[in-house]
Amino acid sequence: MSSQDSKSKIVRESILGEIVSITGDIFAGMILVFLILPFESLSYLIIMIPALLTLRGNISGTFIARTTRDLYTGELSMSLQPIRRWLENIGAALFISLLVAIFIGIISQLFSLFLGNEVVNIGYFIGIPLITIFFNLSISVPLSTGLNIFCFRFGIDANNIVNPLMTCFDDFFTVFGFYLSLLLLGVP
């Protein structure tokens, strides 16, 4: 009977997380449309959005998984001890994110040129992903860590809840980080 209870708990937790994630993603997409439509550079900007959302998901997902693993194995406690392990995890996420953000900028510029768009300041194409990802990580890392600790403390399987919830939250952070980067860089 224990196995059946475990399966139904997994299904309940997963469905709740997925419903929140999908609903939030739809709202994030609507907000993105309204925020970037006024920009003259829309045809250039739209190229990098899927890559930014994918990068965010890949980096955030692995960060969450490592933090969850470390909590369950005892390598990281609920008081973030030993903090060195957590900081290494953050450093890895940040380093990979920044490298891939630069790659996204360069590839986006190349595809934009391939599609016949004019040459645009490469600083936009590199600066937008860098600012967006940095903004996202600065909020996502503490929030996902806190959610992991909360789930661990209350006996909720973080693998079922934290990733879907953070997908939703991170998409909002990415949308607002993207918009913020456009404003900071003065993108037309």
Q: Which domains does the chain have, with CATH numbers?
A: 2-185 (1.10.357.20)
Q: What's the pLDDT at 129?
A: 94
Q: How long a stretch of residues is the chain?
A: 188
pTM score of the predicted model? 0.85
Q: What's the pLDDT at 40?
A: 85
CA distance 172 to 184: 18
Secondary structure (3-state) at 148: helix
Q: What's the pLDDT at 103?
A: 93
What are the 10-residue block averages of pLDDT along the chain, 188 residues in total? 67 83 89 88 84 83 88 79 82 92 91 81 90 93 92 86 88 93 92
Residue 5 in tokens:
């209870």
CA distance 44 to 125: 9
